């Protein structure tokens, strides 16, 4: 029957219980009352369900031990002291046999039983059941990894024909089932498999799967409705705990990390949104910085945590500034990279177009320019933040400055009221010698730019046009921009298919067009000089 307080009560005989349970026998002896009729066993792990099954076992009723109840029965047997001391094949021995034969040899079964142990603490820890299950998972996972490797080796180097080979089971099938575990048990399992030598790529897959499943449902759909509420704070706390735990379990930082950039970016976004610890965010920023040449724009568009600030910026530019700085300041003498670096790679010069490092920094420079163009649309972004990012890259990082020019132009269009000193400093980040002809033409007529920059652009454009008119093939500033270093030869090689007459007509036509362009540029330069003189006079007054 079920009393009013919600506890369960059972009407049972003393003798069957005393014959198999040392705890019940001891309690009756300690009571010193032969007529005792009630006994409180409310602390039994597994509650009424566990006690009912144990009582049936005491009465000699055959109970079925399954994956769902074996942990509960093993803990109940320990609590009730149902050992071999009182009767052979007692409940403790029966559950131990099931664990040994059915649970511990199988990864999936071990995970299932481990999950059941979460609500059986502290008894499940006292009897070492949790540690045994975790060690079994780790050992079997590494055995399976070894077996999978040997199977692949046999397929690649068959010693003899092996008919009727079953399809290979995906090696991470068990890792997905770890998502049922609570955070503490998951951390302990992953620490164990790492110590046993499970491969880094497998650990990364398990982490990604567990994080995805754990954070589902914790994202606030409309933050404006619940911002500052208890619900919002609770969700934020759960996110923070999960993210900090996942970051602590990530493999060792490396430029050859098996953790995907998209996952690291997602973790950083959640870490910032949930106000994770500074060490957690710094760890993620460094990991992303190490792999920055693998990133796309979406990876670095990190929303700012603007709780309670309606006038905050859209994106966390401070975090991105640190990430790019990390990439640019990578230690050239990194021990791990030196061990793995090929001799031919070491011979590359950092500034050489063929160098892997230069290739990476060019990718990152394009990424930064694209990012600048995106954040330039934010009306709340301070010019100082934008300028700090624009000035970040060294001179050799950009072959062409068109991307940066576009970003600056967008920023000036969206922020028309910035100070002249900030406008000048912003435009100073652009190397006019690295602008394409199209960008130069646009800049020369761009009224948002300071007069000094427009004059500078026209000056370099005149030099380029003069060189072209003189018939020289020195590409000077702009000729190599739209293609990757085309090598025009003055020897005539490669142009034998063009007749001298056609070639001469073409040169004359180009010269006429260039003269017209020079005339237009001179007119524009004259206008700019007049504007400059007029502005100077106004300032003197």
Task: Write the DSSP assignment of 99-114 as a string of letters.
Answer: IIIIITT-HHHHHHHH
Is the N-terminal amide bond of 360 cis, ω within 30° of 0? no
Q: Are 188 and 110 in contact (CB under 8 A)?
A: no
Q: Are 403 and 373 in contact (CB under 8 A)?
A: yes
What mean pLDDT do residues 147-159 have? 49
Segment 117-135 mean pLDDT: 95
pLDDT of residue 438: 82
Q: Are 431 and 478 contacting, i.e. CB atoms less than 8 angstroms apart?
A: no
d(CA 207, CA 203): 6
Most trustworthy range by pLDDT among 40-54, 287-301, 431-445: 287-301
Q: Which range has the top average pLDDT, 34-48, 221-235, 354-368, 503-517?
A: 354-368
pLDDT for 338: 47
User: Residue 35: pLDDT above 80?
Assistant: no
- β partners of residue 117: none
- Phi, psi (deg, nearest 5) at residue 434: -110, 15
How far is residue 408's CA from residue 395's CA, in Å, rounded to a whole number?
17
Q: For 304-331, write each residue's pLDDT tens digit.
A: 876 545 457 899 999 999 999 999 887 4
pLDDT of residue 222 exceeding 60, the answer is no
Residue 21 has pLDDT above 70, yes or no: yes
235-237-238-242 Cα dihedral, nearest 10 degrees: 140
Q: What is the pLDDT of residues 181-201, one digit of tens each?
A: 999 999 999 999 999 988 888
Is a pLDDT exceeding 80 seen at residue 348? Answer: no
More confident site: 253 or 460 = 253
State pLDDT tens for residues 256-305.
777 899 999 999 999 998 899 999 999 999 999 999 999 999 999 999 87
Look at residue 241 in the predicted model and tell me its pLDDT: 94
More confident call, 175 vs 224: 175
Least confident of 225-229, 265-269, 312-316, 523-527: 225-229
Own/partner long-range contacts of 410-414 (Cβ < 8 Å, ≥24 apart): 410/373, 410/376, 410/377, 411/372, 411/376, 411/381, 411/383, 411/386, 412/448, 412/449, 413/448, 414/376, 414/377, 414/378, 414/379
Q: Whole-number mean pLDDT of the chain?
A: 77
CA 508/CA 511 separation, integer angstroms: 5
Which residue(s) pair with 315 in the sheet? 303
**Tokens 């709340």 belong to residue:** 380
Residue-level pLDDT at 40: 67
Helix, strand and coil content of the chain, in percent to the nearest 5, comes to 65, 0, 35
The residue-averaged pLDDT of 403-423 equals 90
* The predicted structure's pLDDT at residue 211: 93
φ, ψ for residue 315, nearest 5 deg: -125, 155
Give the bridge partners for 303, in sequence order. 315
CB atoms within 10 A of CB 416: 8
Query: Can you tell me the distance from the alpha carbon of 254 to that of 152, in angstroms, rounded to the nearest whole number?
Result: 27
pLDDT at 511: 58
How far is 19 from 60, CA to CA, in rounded Å?
A: 11
CA 441 – CA 462 distance, rounded (Å) = 11
d(CA 316, CA 485): 36
Mean pLDDT of 339-357: 45
pLDDT average, residue stretch 342-366: 61
Answer whether residue 2 shows pLDDT above 90: no
> Is residue 333 pLDDT above 50, yes or no?
no
Separation of alpha carbons 419 and 351, rounded Å:
36
Percent of the chain with pLDDT over 90: 37
Task: Reply yes or no on whether the pLDDT at 135 is more than 90.
Answer: yes
Cite the DSSP H helix spans in 35-128.
47-58, 70-80, 91-98, 107-116, 123-126
258 vs 221: which has the higher pLDDT: 258
pLDDT for position 342: 42
User: Is residue 421 over pLDDT 60?
Assistant: yes
Structure tokens at 518: 């020079």
pLDDT of residue 41: 76
The separation between the first and the last C-alpha atoms of the chain, rounded to the nearest angstrom, is: 101
Helix (H), strand (E) at residue 362: helix 356-375
Least confident of 33-47, 280-294, 465-479: 465-479
């Amino acid at each position: 029957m079920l009393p009013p307080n919600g506890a369960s009560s059972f009407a049972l005989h003393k003798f069957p219980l005393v014959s198999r349970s040392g705890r019940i026998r001891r309690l009756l002896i300690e009571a010193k009352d032969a007529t005792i009729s009630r006994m409180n066993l409310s602390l039994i792990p597994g509650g009424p369900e566990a006690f009912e099954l144990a009582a049936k076992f005491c009465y000699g009723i055959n109970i079925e031990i399954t994956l769902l109840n074996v942990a509960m029965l093993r803990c109940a047997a320990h609590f009730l002291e149902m050992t071999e001391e009182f009767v052979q094949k007692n409940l403790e021995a029966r559950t131990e046999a099931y664990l040994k034969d059915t649970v511990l040899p199988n990864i999936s079964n071990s995970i299932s039983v481990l999950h059941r142990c979460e609500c059986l603490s502290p008894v499940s820890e006292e009897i070492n059941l949790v540690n045994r299950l975790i060690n079994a998972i780790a050992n079997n996972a590494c055995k399976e990894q070894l077996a999978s490797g040997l199977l692949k080796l046999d397929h690649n180097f068959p010693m003899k024909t092996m008919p009727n080979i079953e399809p290979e089971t995906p090696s991470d099938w068990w890792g997905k089932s770890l998502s049922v575990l609570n955070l503490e048990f998951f951390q302990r399992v992953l620490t164990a498999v790492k110590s046993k030598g499970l491969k880094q790529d497998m650990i990364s897959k398990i982490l990604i799967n567990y994080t995805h499943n754990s954070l589902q449902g914790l994202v606030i759909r409309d933050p404006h409705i619940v911002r500052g509420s208890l619900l919002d704070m609770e969700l934020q706390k759960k996110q923070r705990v999960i993210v900090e735990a996942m970051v602590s379990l990530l493999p060792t930082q490396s430029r050859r990390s098996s953790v995907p950039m998209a996952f690291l970016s997602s973790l950083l976004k959640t870490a910032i949104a949930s106000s994770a610890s500074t060490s957690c965010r710094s760890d993620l920023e460094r990991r992303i910085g190490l792999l920055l040449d693998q990133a796309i724009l979406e990876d670095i568009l990190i929303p700012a945590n603007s709780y309670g600030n309606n006038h905050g910026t859209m994106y966390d530019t401070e975090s991105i500034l640190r990430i790019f700085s990390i990439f640019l300041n990578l230690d050239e003498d990194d021990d791990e990279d030196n061990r793995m670096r090929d001799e031919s790679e070491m011979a590359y010069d950092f500034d050489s177009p063929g160098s892997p490092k230069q290739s990476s920094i060019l990718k990152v420079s394009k990424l930064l320019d694209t990012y600048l163009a995106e954040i330039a649309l934010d009306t709340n972004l301070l010019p100082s933040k934008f300028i700090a990012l624009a000035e970040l890259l060294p001179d050799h990082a950009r072959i062409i400055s068109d991307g940066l020019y576009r970003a600056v132009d967008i920023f000036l269009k969206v922020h028309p009221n910035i100070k002249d000193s900030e406008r000048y400093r912003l435009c100073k980040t652009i190397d006019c010698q690295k602008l394409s002809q199209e960008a130069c033409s646009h800049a020369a007529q761009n009224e948002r730019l300071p007069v000094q920059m427009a004059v500078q652009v026209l000056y370099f454009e005149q030099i380029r046009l003069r060189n072209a008119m003189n018939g020289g093939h020195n590409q000077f500033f702009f000729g190599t921009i739209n293609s990757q270093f085309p090598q025009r030869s003055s020897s005539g090689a490669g142009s034998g298919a063009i007749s001298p007459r056609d070639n001469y007509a073409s040169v004359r036509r180009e010269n006429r067009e260039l003269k017209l362009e020079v005339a237009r540029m001179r007119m524009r330069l004259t206008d700019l000089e007049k504007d400059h003189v007029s502005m100077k006079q106004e300032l003197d007054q």
